[in-house]
Amino acid sequence: MLVLGNLAAWAAALALLCLLAKVRWGPGSVQGSLPPSWGAQGSEPGGTGEEEGDNVIGEEGLGAGRCRFICKPSALARCLLRSLRRFTALPGGRWLWRNWPHLQTTFQLLCPPACQPEVARELLQLDDGGLVALDWVVGPRRTSKRRATSAIRNAPVLLAIPHASGKVTRGVLHLCLLALEEGYNPVIFNRRGHNGSPLTSLKLQAFGDPADLKEAVTYIRTRHPGSSLCAVSEGSGSGLLLSYLGECGSSSYLTAAACISPVLRCQEWLEAGGPWLYEWSLLLHQKQGLSRYATALAEVVETERLFQSKSLRELEEVLFCQTRSRPTTWDAYWDRNDPLRDVDEAAVPVLCICSADDPVRGPPASTLPMELFHSSPYFFLLLTPQGGHCGFLKEDWCSWSHEVTLEYFRAIAEFFRGEERVKGLHRCRRGVLQKREGSSSPCNLQEIFSWQRSYTS
């Protein structure tokens, strides 16, 4: 499933990155990229007497080694903050690798998983005849130490969306295995032509076009009609997930969503380019996948320019802007594919886990739309000083972001169940009052405990 290329080249590149990271390593080297005014739930800036390594989410000020929870105040936000504060997976201690973002990024994106999962693939035929692949992770399964939900009927489904290049990384596979242990049915969504999915139509999925994902979600709901559905994306794959949430609004069928190291300003990100190792790896991975269909693609794009492209932006432009049938401009393409174009229509909770030292996304001040998290009751930002891009490694070389993501989904489910219980109790009391009044006019009480109202209470 993973294309690693020349292992010797990766080893040499990794050694070089280790040396560079050692030179630039130093305590507090990342903290300067965090504006001091960012606080939990919009709190005012202020100093903290906490030392580096405190395993908490700070309330005020920067705080060395502390995570920040940034959102609009609401009942759900308070619930999530309490849940995450109790969670032991948040980064703590003085582990050396925390200060090496390039090493964390390289390890998660390029190294194979410690345990290769067992996958059952389904090919889903779309309305236009194209195919997408759904990889259901079915094993190996171990008994969860926290809770045994695998035997419960209608287990929740976890939909994982890889990077936009289609690369299924160590992180995605580890998250799916962890979710399997927790009783989920994990499934990986592969776009047309990605990861061995056959390209049966001369159409590829644009960066922010959620049409194929809509059909996949509809199929998953048909297969698991009584299950709740959560979605998580990694890196640039967040563009597809956010586009889907914006276009579908309250009809997305998702209970909650999470984005690990999301790229939110995608056009600017492609135009600026990323670190050469990251960009070259994803570019090579995408070219290798497209080379299988070079003859067929020659009818719609200039394949010579396609395979000679030297950046992800150039590849994207050749594939979707300089087509033979419907050429368009770069800016017009992003008017239709910007993941934040309909973000105001999103109607499910979305947690974004980001690192301030992310070498791929760039500095938080210019790459994270902070106004979105401060104004929307549906978007939450967990910002940590260290972690790299999709890294967030612990001493056991596993990502704490995966455990936090599953804890977030659990807290969301419990919050909704509590709201429904309160609503049911209120309806029961109202029914008793109406019976006592006989045929009189119905009771004028308000349903003040609806989950929609709870977001902004």
Positions marked active-site: 358, 389
DSSP string, 319-373: HHTS-SSS---HHHHHHHH-TTTTGGG--S-EEEEEETT-TTT--HHHHS-HHHH
Beta partners for residue 132, in sequence order = 124
Distance set, CA 362 to CA 31, 101, 211, 268 (Å): 14, 12, 29, 11
Beta partners for residue 136, in sequence order = 120, 187
Helix (H, G, I), strand (E, B) or coil at 70: strand
Helix (H, G, I), strand (E, B) or coil at 277: helix
How far is it, in rounded angstroms, from Cα 56 to Cα 91?
8
Q: Are strands 379-384 and 350-355 parallel, antiparallel or unpaired?
A: parallel
Q: Are strands 131-139 and 185-190 parallel, antiparallel or unpaired?
A: antiparallel
Residues 12/16/19/23 CA torsion (nearest 10 deg)? 180
How far is it, in rounded angstroms, from Cα 182 to Cα 205?
32
Structure letter (DSSP) for residue 416: H
Please choose, from the candidates 245, 252, 123, the residue with its C-alpha nearest in 3D space to the C-alpha of residue 192. Answer: 123
How far is it, in rounded angstroms, from Cα 69 to Cα 352?
10
